[in-house]
Structure formats: C-alpha cells, structure tokens
Amino acid sequence: MNKYIASVLADVKAKNADQPEFLQAVEEVLTTLAPVIEANPAYQANAILERIVEPERTIIFRVPWIDDKGIVRVNRGYRVQFNSAIGPYKGGLRFDPSVNLSVLKFLGFEQIFKNSLTTLPMGGGKGGSDFNPKVSPHTPGKRCSDREVMRFCQSFMTELFRHIGADTDVPAGDMNVGGREIGYLFGQYRKIANEFTGVLTGKGLSFGGSLVRPEATGYGDVYFAANMLAMRGDTLEGKRCVVSGSGNVATYAAEKLMQLGAKVLTLSDRSGAIYAKDGITPKMLKDVMRLKTVTRGELADFAKKTKAVKFFKGANSWQLADKVDCAFPCARQNELNGKDAAYLLKHGCVLVGEGANMPSTPDAIAAFAKAKIMFSPGKASNAGGVATSGLEMSQNSERLSWTAEEVDTKLKGIMKAIHDNAWNAAEKYGHKGDYVMGANIAGFTKVADAMLAQGI
C-alpha cells in the first residue's frame, strides 16, 4: 500500500478505535486513492488526507421530550459537519437506536464524495438521534404516536437550529426521517428562527418541497444501473431483480424497475423478506408503500393478506430466488455479506446497484470485483437523492417550482454524469470498469482541489 495512505489509515485507526463503521468507510475510500495521490504530490504536502478524515465540527446535544403519558424522555442528538470545501454541509438526519458517532461519521464521510459527484455545490454532513419512532417508550408492541414524534422533532430542532442555515448546513431525511418528520422539523425551525428559507430538503410540496424528491434516490439508483447496462449494450427489460428494504429508497427503486420492464422478486424489512416468484405487481408495491408510510406496519402483516408472496421470517432478500440478474441493496449498511455475494454470483447476478449507504461488506465487494460484474457503490448510485435535494435548494433560492418532468430530466442527466465521471476516472487511472475506484477518485479530486485552493 502507498506509504502516505498507510500512515494516515494507521493514525485514523488509533484515534477512532471504537468507531468500526467509520473506519470501514475510510479504509474503503483511502485504499483506492493511491494513483491520484501519487500523481499529485501537493495532496500529501498539504495533508489533504489527514484533514479530510477529520470532521470540521461535531455537535452532540441533549434532546429532552415528553411522551403521551407525561413522562420526560431524553435522547442524544448529533450533527457531524464534515466538509464544506465545495458548498454548505448537506446530508440527512437518521432516527434509529443504532445511531452513534461511528455510524454518523461513516455516513458524513461518504456524503462528502457523494455530494461532490453530483456536480452540485454541496459539502458533506450527517446527523440524527438514537430516538426510535418505531417503539413506544410506554406501550409494548406500539409505535410512538404522531404527537410524540412531533414533540421529539421540535426538541431536536430547538438545539439544531442554531447550527444550520440555507447557506451553512441543509439537513434532509434518512432512515425513519421522512415527510412527516421533515414537516415537524421545518415547522419548529421556522418558528424559532423567524424565517422561511430552504434550510431542510424533502419538504412537503406546499412549503417548498420539490416534485420527484421522494422518488429520487430509488429512481436514481435504477437510472445508474441502466447506464451501466448501456455500456454493455443491454437494458433492464426482463431482468430478474432482488431488492432489499421496503422504505423510501427500496420502494421507488422497485417502482422504476417495474416501469423499465424488470421483474422485482423481493422486498424486505426488519420482520423478514417477501418473495414473489412471478414478480411483485405494481398493486402489491402500492400496498407496501401505504403499509410503510401510512399504516406503518410490517411485511409480515402484508404477507398474511397476500397469497402471491411467500414470507421468510428474519431473512434478507439475497438467498431466496433461484435465478437473479441484478441486486439492489436498499435497506442499511453491511446488509449483504460474503455468503450472500457468493449465492448471488452462483445464481447468475451480473449487476449490483447499491441504493443504501455501504450495504455490501468488504468481502462481498471483493467477491463482486473478482467476478468482474457491474458493481456501483452507494456514493455514486444513490446520489440521486441528494442531487434532487440540491435541485430543491435551487428552487427555494429562486422561489420557483419546477415540473416533475423538469426535475426527472435533470435527475436522469445527473445520474448519467455521475456514471460517466466514475467511468472516466477509473479508465484514466488504468482501472477501466471499476466504479468503486472511479467514484472515489472523481469525488475526492474535486474536494481535494478546493481544499488546496482555499489554504490550510
């Protein structure tokens, strides 16, 4: 390994030994940068790697709120403002009990390169809380009520508001933070800051949201896959696809796959996975979307009412179908491991398009690379969400709303540009077809050059 990279990695490991997800993300990026580091000695001379692995600022705060029984609850809130060399910090908020500094630093670090790849002026950040809206603190088997989620969001924003702003830091949604939560967060920001600005993205259409933002990450993931297939003169028509998750990214990826003529065989959630031998139908998908965003239930309940799907309790999506062409991991980090990768490869998989952040473990990525299949890392193929957030910021600044067609056309163009940037960077440095290397190099170079230009 390149000596400079090895020494920075050793230092990051020593300083952050208790942050496994962050270390995994840093290692994945840094180990692909040798060609660009060797070609540009100024990066080492100006300690670009040492600086890029350290957040510019990390804020940790108390979030007290009152549940429906009048009991005071306390959660921990975070915002990691990782890098603002090319624009205001931008990245989602995640509410999940698994949220900790390691998870948010990994997500914030990935976000720097993802945002750079979109071609839009956005820096990298991420935030959230260990708050779990899916488990009531007082009634077993129930979720938090809407009012509890609202009070939590208001308390969270009461501290966060002083650290963000339309030109400083513009958070968005992520796991368990959708339209409902963004609405409550924006409402509280507007009240206490006494201004109506595009300080959050993923807003409702009646208060500054953009058409196609909810669809953008899933659609973008599929557009990226279509671009990879086009390089081989192929399309998604008739492809047998396995998708994981059943949240925002997964359901819109499934919708776009169906629109482009592919068959979606699986979806999953915390309760397990559903498998439809002949493909999930658009009607079933609409029912799953309703289940997840309106009635807020589990796939286990859905499967009881839907004869055409089989339910596998506690399973993920990877080892259910006997013939697979493409896989789209769209749920969470490290959800597809080496064994899953071996199964997928053995059953015909030629393309993996990551919709989630870091869903494939390092041994799974190594197996895909060895098999030389088309593999797109999340930072490239799920960048459509943040890119459309960037378009929402532009519309807010202009006080305009673009049509769905305008936004979708721009999204398609951005996904093609990201694909081509990653492809060209990999080819330039002698690794043709390696989208992991291409995305890391293309994303890194723009930020590193901006950091160089702006001094230490």
What residues line the site for ligand NDP (CB under 6 A)?
173-176, 217, 245-250, 269-270, 292, 298, 330-332, 355-357, 382, 385
Residue 246 CB, shortest distance to ligand NDP, in Å, is 4
Which residue in the shown chain puts its C-beta closest to ligand NDP?
247
- In the complex with ligand NDP, the residue whose CB is nearer, 234 or 298, is 298
- Token representation of residue 339: 């064994």
Q: How far is the CB of 298 from ligand NDP (least distance, A)?
A: 6
Query: Comparing C-alpha atoms, which of 278, 217, 204 is closest to residue 245?
Result: 217
Q: Is 339 exposed, middle or buried (0-12, 13-18, 19+ CB in 10 A)?
A: middle
Min dist. Cβ of residue 131 to ligand NDP (A): 13
Smallest distance, Å, CB 367 to ligand NDP?
21
Q: Nearest to residue 164, comparing CAs of 129, 128, 200?
A: 200
Q: How far is the CB of 190 from ligand NDP (least distance, A)?
A: 22
Residue 49 or 183 having the CB closest to ligand NDP? 183
Please say which residue, 106 or 429, places its beta carbon nearer to ligand NDP.
106
Q: Which is nearer to ligand NDP, 158 or 381 (CB)?
A: 381
Q: Which is nearer to ligand NDP, 48 or 243 (CB)?
A: 243
Indicate which residue of 105, 126, 239, 446 is catalytic: 126
Task: Compute how many other C-beta atoms are within 10 angstroms of the C-beta atom of residue 224.
Answer: 26
Minimum gap (Å) between residue 415 Cβ and ligand NDP: 13
Q: In the complex with ligand NDP, which residue's Cβ is closer, 263 or 292?
A: 292
The closest alpha carbon to 336, from 322, 311, 356, belongs to 356
* Cα atoms in the 13 Å half-sphere on the side-chain side of 56: 18
Q: How many CB atoms lie within 10 A of CB 405?
A: 10
* 103-124 exposure pattern, b = at least 16 Cβ within 10 A, e = fewer: bbbbbbbbbbbbbbbbbbebbb
- H or E element that contains 359: none
CB of residue 383 vs ligand NDP: minimum separation in angstroms? 7
CA distance 359 to 25: 11
Half-sphere exposure of 330 (CA within 13 A, CB side): 33
- Spatial CB neighbours of 183, under 8 Å, sequence gap ≥ 6: 203, 204, 207
In the annotation, is 13 catalytic?
Answer: no
CB of 357 to ligand NDP, least distance (A): 4
Residue with smaller CB distance to ligand NDP, 75 or 115: 115
Alpha-carbon distance of 367 to 339, in angstroms, equals 10
The Cα–Cα gap between 34 and 32 comes to 6
Query: CA dist 354 to 23, 84, 94, 136, 384, Å?
Result: 20, 25, 18, 31, 12
Q: How far apart are CA 311 and CA 322, in angstroms?
A: 16
* Cβ proximity to ligand NDP, 414 vs 451, nearer residue: 414
Cα-Cα end-to-end distance for the chain: 26
Cβ partners under 8 Å of residue 297, min gap 6 = 291
Q: Which residues are catalytic?
A: 126
